[in-house]
Structure 1
Amino acid sequence: MDSEQAGAVTMESPSRVAQWLMPGWKRALKTISMLGAATAVGAVCVFLTQTLLARELGPQDYGLFASSLATITMIAPLAGFGLAQFRLRVYGVEGWAARRWIAPSLRFTVGTSILAIAIIVGWALFVAPDADTRFDLLVLIPVVLHILTIEMLSTKYRLEDRYARMAGWQLAIPVSRLLVAMVLLLVPQLTGRFVATSYALISLAMVAWALPLLRSVMRGEIDLRGHGPEPTTQAPVQEPRVSELWAQAWPFGMIAILYPVFFQVSTILLKYLGSDKQAGFWAIGLAIMTAIYLIPATIYQKFLLSKLHRWAVHDPVKFWMVYKRGNVGMFALGILVSVTMDVLAPFVIPVVFGEPYRGVIVILIVLSLCPPIRFLSTSMGSALLTDKHMRYRVYAMAWATGVAILLNAALIPRFGEMGAAWATVAAELVLLVGTWHGVRQLRRAKGVHP
């Protein structure tokens, strides 16, 4: 082989790699690595918090608190009703002109927040089975405002490509809750009511701290990236009505509402159809799965989402390239995570959580089927975050949520936590199939070939 042929062979391989990777991949990798590190820190904090709470409170009391918090986090997305995702979409499509949506968005947020709080109060007063559950539900109401605040700030920072700031605010929740768990460790006489009250006080403090930033969001002070410099003059536009906002935002809101039900319904039904102890076992498994699912969430929700909204309109070739590469990479990563779970769970659970939680091992063995399914459905679902095709994602999530509710209700009374585990696997499969069907319809509508 002469020198020219050798040079050609040497250059061929990097060029093929370059064709496979998306443009700007080095910067993207750097940002994803930073977000991944922050997510890892948050996941470790969540894991340590759940570990300490589970060991100190015991399965019964931990299950009571975990199921109450799950109820709150299931209802909380009603406050705002998907406006965070809607803002990313309208800014991605309209650019600087999207500021016209700020005023109706604020009115909509206030109304939906009041509704969310009213539902929690009603649940506590008329559905909660005992005084302890009622106490936890009422005291944890500030968590709703905290989650809403983090969503609003995260949207601002994603539009500004200030991912470090976004990661910092999102880390505040797991870090502060870990401090509460450490206090419980140092003072074991404290109870679950102390934990609930502490979570509420932390939420109120974080909302108060964020008020100056929230005011800037309300005034539309966003340093928007990817749409050129801000125009010095803009043509006057008519402010949309709340009804117009609802007409465009409802699919995002439905996803925001359906997903917590889909993910948390097992914990809640285990409490009401089983026992607090069963809910406690399940909550440990769910906490581990939550940490695992942060991997695709970091890549797609924190980093790619605002870009996907922009590319879908202004650079569809890049949009579909990222979609295809993402499917392959996420499925492979999901398989790796599943194998790791199967290998480590029998050794880690008894050591970390103690012998009373050994029953969590078999739950995790079943749930280890979920990561490849969830990772792939997250990647595929990224194609359904824009345009009118968002409704396909709503349909998929609605079917999956319905299956999750029905199977949990049917299996938990007889099989307990294991019934919840198999119901979860089935629901994840339904979500994947529904998402695949939606993407297929989207491709046909746009004339895009696989």
Structure 2
Amino acid sequence: MGAYLLPGWRRAATTISMLSAATFAGAVMVFLTQTLLARKMGPEAYGLFASSLATVTMIAPLAGFGLTQFLLKAYGVEGWSANRWLRPSLRFIRATGALSIGVVVGWALLGAPHNGTRFALLVLWPVVFGILAIDLVANRCRLEDRHRAMALWQMAIPASRLAVAILLLFVPHLGGTLVALAYCVISLLVALAAWPQVSRMLHGDVDLHGHGPRPEHPLPAPVPDMAELWSQAWAYGVYAALYPVFFQISTILLKYLAGDTQAGLYSIGLAVMTAIYLIPATIYQKFLLAKLHRWAAHDAPKFWAVYRQGNIGMLLLGLLVSAGLVACAPWVVPLVFGERYHGVVAILMILALCPPIRFLSTAIGSALLTEDHMRFRVYAMAVSTVAVIALNALLIPRFGEQGAAWATVAGETVLLAGTALGVRRFHRVKRGVVEPDA
């Protein structure tokens, strides 16, 4: 089994190290940005801004709605023939982008309170396009095996936000209005900078890696319409739309059920967890994802060898990270954020249960990203999201931000159990294929 992992391991280790360094740098930038803004604005003003940004970020996956994940699968299975999906992809992006903007604006005008949240939502809608543009460019880099370029592009938004946060330190009495306007400008500039790369990709300018040279005379293939693209991408889109609800809903419900101050405290704890969760995301989303699609279609023994090793490694790494969080949080949080944010320590002590659960869930879930099994991953995420929403509604009125933290732990546990059941359900013993241990 280990023989499958030996070829190219040095290059893989170098690439993962580079991506990890870039991810760490991005996480540090996000953390510093959160810290500077939180200290400057105070818990209430920062809570209003953070919950508004979380709302837009939660809606953002509607734009593109699973397109990037599906294209990775299509190219992994079809190789160069997957260029046939590019023509309907542009129409799909336009339609889903308009839908996501409509949802943000509609909620701002019809559902948001008048305490500054409405203005923040209306100003922050370009964040949707900034996230989509970076996602599409990163997808092209994955297909071309250009991991360094992907890392640089994915640091564009956090680096820009940190630069603006530093400049805003010199503004007296900083409020959420100016911060929201700055984030709006950043998103527009990033989207404009990324568009030439996206446009070239959508017109077939992709130097596909792992499938040999581009054929001089490609075989004719039917060009799908947008309905067929939707039928293939919907599961990836639903999962992408559910995940930010699953992850961000606690901050938003805290805002409406407890107040902006509680939302601000919890958003700091969530920022720390976001940085931690970049570790499995780097390994599986940035480095392994395109390869997993290719191996699942063309080299099943290698796929399952990587799967088994990943489960063990990610569980051990998650336990190590949890121990570090428990040891460091009590003295790092007051030192970095100030005594006003001391309540974040109790939140992090609860959320410290999550890293081994999330790391293992990510590793196990890699078996449901391929072939036709993504739908069960969607079912697991849907059940987990419902559980998180219900538990937040039950626990926040009584326990505040700590109740939201326990709801998050429970949701992560439900997601892990559902993902493991999905792997057992869809991967029975097959002749010539090793059955995985979930």
Classify the TM-score, shorter chain.
over 0.9
Gaps of 5+ in 1: 1-15
Corresponding residue for residue 316 of structure 2: 332
* Equivalent of 2:138 in 154, 177, 183: 154
Structure 2 distance, partners of 1:311, 1:440, is 19
1:215 is aligned to 2:199: yes
Corresponding residue for residue 370 of structure 1: 354
8 A Cα contact 1:159 1:223, kept in partner: yes
8 A Cα contact 1:75 1:257, kept in partner: yes
1:282 is aligned to 2:290: no
Letter in 1 for 2:170: L
Corresponding residue for residue 8 of structure 1: none
Corresponding residue for residue 417 of structure 2: 433
RMSD of aligned Cα (Å): 1.2
**TM-aligned CA distance change 1:141 to 1:377, over 3 Å:** same
8 A Cα contact 2:297 2:371, kept in partner: no
Structure 2 distance, partners of 1:24, 1:392, is 32
Corresponding residue for residue 340 of structure 2: 356
**TM-aligned CA distance change 1:424 to 1:245, over 3 Å:** same
1:253-402 equivalences under 5 Å are 253-402=237-386
Deviation at 1:189, TM superposition (A): 2.9
Structure 2 distance, partners of 1:349, 1:412, is 22
Structure 1 distance, partners of 2:244, 2:430, is 31
Give the secondary-structure state (helix, strand or coil) at the position aligned to 2:55. helix
Structure 1 distance, partners of 2:430, 2:339, is 55
1:67-82 equivalences under 5 Å are 67-82=51-66
Spell out, residue by residue over 1:413-437, the C-alpha distance to the aligned partner (whole angstroms, 9 max, x if none): 1111011000000000000000000
Spell out, residue by residue over 1:182-240, the C-alpha distance to the aligned partner (whole angstroms, 9 max, x if none): 11222233321111000100111111112221220121100000000100001222210
Give the secondary-structure state (helix, strand or coil) at the position aligned to 2:169. helix
Structure 2 distance, partners of 1:100, 1:131, is 48
Q: Which moved more, 1:68-77 or 1:237-246?
A: 237-246
Corresponding residue for residue 227 of structure 1: 211
Give the secondary-structure state (helix, strand or coil) at the position aligned to 1:81. coil
Spell out, residue by residue over 1:119-142, the C-alpha distance to the aligned partner (whole angstroms, 9 max, x if none): 001110111112410011000011
Letter in 2 for 1:380: I
Deviation at 1:247, TM superposition (A): 1.1
Structure 2 distance, partners of 1:425, 1:210, is 36
Gaps of 5+ in 2: none
Deviation at 1:374, TM superposition (A): 0.1
8 A Cα contact 1:22 1:318, kept in partner: no
Deviation at 1:117, TM superposition (A): 0.4
Corresponding residue for residue 111 of structure 2: 127
* Equivalent of 1:170 in 151, 154, 157: 154
Higher CA-based Rg? 1
Structure 1 distance, partners of 2:307, 2:323, is 25
Count of residues paired in the alignment: 434
- Compute the TM-score of the two structures, normalised by the length of structure 2: 0.97
Give the fraction of aligned pairs with identical amino acids, expressed as a percent.
63
Deviation at 1:156, TM superposition (A): 0.3
Letter in 1 for 2:290: S
